[in-house]
Amino acid sequence: MKDILEQLDARRETARLGGGQGRIDAQHGRGKLTARERVELLLDEDSFEEFDMFVTHRCTDFGMENQKPAGDGVVTGWGTINGRLVYVFSQDFTVLGGSVSETHARKICKIMDMAMQNGAPVIGINDSGGARIQEGVDSLAGYGEVFQRNIEASGVIPQISVIMGPCAGGAVYSPAMTDFIFMVKDSSYMFVTGPDVVKTVTNEQVTAEELGGATTHTRKSSVADGAFENDVEALAEVRRLVDFLPSNNREMPPVRPFFDDPERIEPSLDTLVPENPNTPYDMKEMILKLADEADFYEIQEDFAKNIITGFIRLEGRTVGVVANQPMVLAGVLDIDSSRKAARFVRFCDAFEIPILTLVDVPGFLPGTSQEYGGVIKHGAKLLFAYGEATVPMVTVITRKAYGGAYDVMASKHLRSDFNYAWPTAEVAVMGAKGATEIIHRKDLGDADKIAKHTADYEKRFANPFVAAERGFIDEVIQPRSTRKRIARAFASLRNKKRQMPWKKHNNIPL
């Protein structure tokens, strides 16, 4: 018996070394942690239970029968984050470059199947050279099996991808179908075709970092939701995100202890909006003052900064926030901000996370580049996302709510439950100057008349009371009382039940 136990320990020790100490040292030399170190950092201490430690590939071509490392390049299992069950797989770059074989993919599929069966999030740590070329189509079939599970899990359990090394070719499509993607600066990249292929086909000279690095995907393409300095910071932020999310679409997000009075009055909000309607202010300041303990987890912070998305807590409960940012492009809606916000709204709705919308929007961005880029369809994505959402929704208009953008931003007409406005709010088809120049076109040559008409328009429409008179605004509230009012509103909506008409699925304007 003793010999068998010693043999087991020896085999486990060999498996834990992955590709060997030399390759582990090389991984550390690149500023990267090993697959197992990442799992240990991500999960609660001593909570990891590993599956399939001794699985090996079955390939016998190209001399592969002579190298059969235990685990086959991916560490899989389950554990806890702040005491809540999660499933995890972590690709091991020290073993055959983390390349995906048929059995490697099967290990991942097993974990995803268990996550679905038991209603728990799945977190994938990607660090792979791609499909294992020696296995040919078997490797591609493995990818396909993973893709199908990503699709079936979408909207059922949270899926989080952490890119901590290369992720190229077909491998990128699995993370792309997950809910959140995080990257590590200078050591991770994603692209469908690499720099060498790009150079051959298009004659473009580009580095891997420029083509698919963390900066590219968080600022330009919007593929990634966040970029962090190193592996440790990235894993800590994943732990923080998981704590905001429910385990699955049939459970509510966790309720955390809070030490911030829901009735708290915030007098500084009374002066947040400047007297000059064209002067910007920072909407993030408002978000922080509304949140429990000023804790705000922003999503896609570096992309489409004219709209803000992320999570806060009110009375210890998760709330998704979508807010126009007057500091960037005056908070206007455009292609990028519409896509960013629509995806976030749909995630919140899929996982029963209430949505708070803070509105200061002068309209949609005009211009040929926007129209040629399909701003109509992209704007419709956000409209559609809000219109199909059945979760509790509270909207606060702080200043401008003009034109179609007023409708799009969780208006009462899209079944938002509570629609509040500050006294500084202006709900109208457009700004006073533009409206006056259209209505009183015949007086354009007379500056005095135009000024008088503009003042009359402002007095009549540049306020929230016309909309309030028609019931489109439920209440005009004091800015200082906003936290109290929205906390009470969400508390009253905890048992909300609303269903859309039966359909196989909708046809959102993609």
- CB burial class (10 A; 0-12, 13-18, 19+) of residue 444? exposed
The answer to whether residue 170 is catalytic is yes
Q: CA 107, CA 50: separation in Å to the nearest integer?
A: 11
The answer to whether residue 405 is catalytic is yes
CB-facing half-sphere around the CA of 208: CA atoms within 13 A: 13
The answer to whether residue 404 is catalytic is yes
CB-facing half-sphere around the CA of 345: CA atoms within 13 A: 29
Q: CA 472, CA 465: separation in Å to the nearest integer?
A: 10
Q: CA 140, CA 148: separation in Å to the nearest integer?
A: 13
Q: CA 399, CA 406: separation in Å to the nearest integer?
A: 11
**Strand-strand pairing, 317-324 and 307-314:** antiparallel
The answer to whether residue 169 is catalytic is yes
Four-point Cα dihedral 226, 231, 236, 241, nearest 10: 30
Three-state SS at 386: helix
Q: Which of 224, 227, 405, 428 is catalytic?
A: 405
**Strand-strand pairing, 49-51 and 74-81:** antiparallel
Angle between helix 283-290 and helix 482-492 axes, rounded to 10 deg? 60
Q: Which of 194, 316, 373, 404 is catalytic?
A: 404
Question: Do residues 195 and 211 lie in contact, with contact meaning Cβ atoms separated by under 8 Å?
Answer: yes
Question: What would the 3-class secondary structure string for 325-384 be?
Answer: CCCCHHHCECHHHHHHHHHHHHHHHHCCCCEEEEEEECCECCCHHHHHCCHHHHHHHHHH
Other beta carbons within 10 Å of 67: 12
3-class SS shares of the chain: helix, strand, coil, % to 5: 45, 20, 40
Q: CA 357, CA 345: separation in Å to the nearest integer?
A: 10
Four-point Cα dihedral 106, 127, 168, 158, nearest 10: 60
Question: Do residues 25 and 54 lie in contact, with contact meaning Cβ atoms separated by under 8 Å?
Answer: no
Please work out, in degrees rounded to the nearest 5, the angle formed at the alpha carbon of residue 246 by the alpha carbons of 244 and 252.
110
Q: Which of 73, 77, 165, 169 is catalytic?
A: 169
Q: Which of 170, 316, 373, 434 is catalytic?
A: 170
Question: Do residues 183 and 171 lie in contact, with contact meaning Cβ atoms separated by under 8 Å?
Answer: no
Three-state SS at 162: strand
Residues recognised as catalytic: 169-170, 404-405
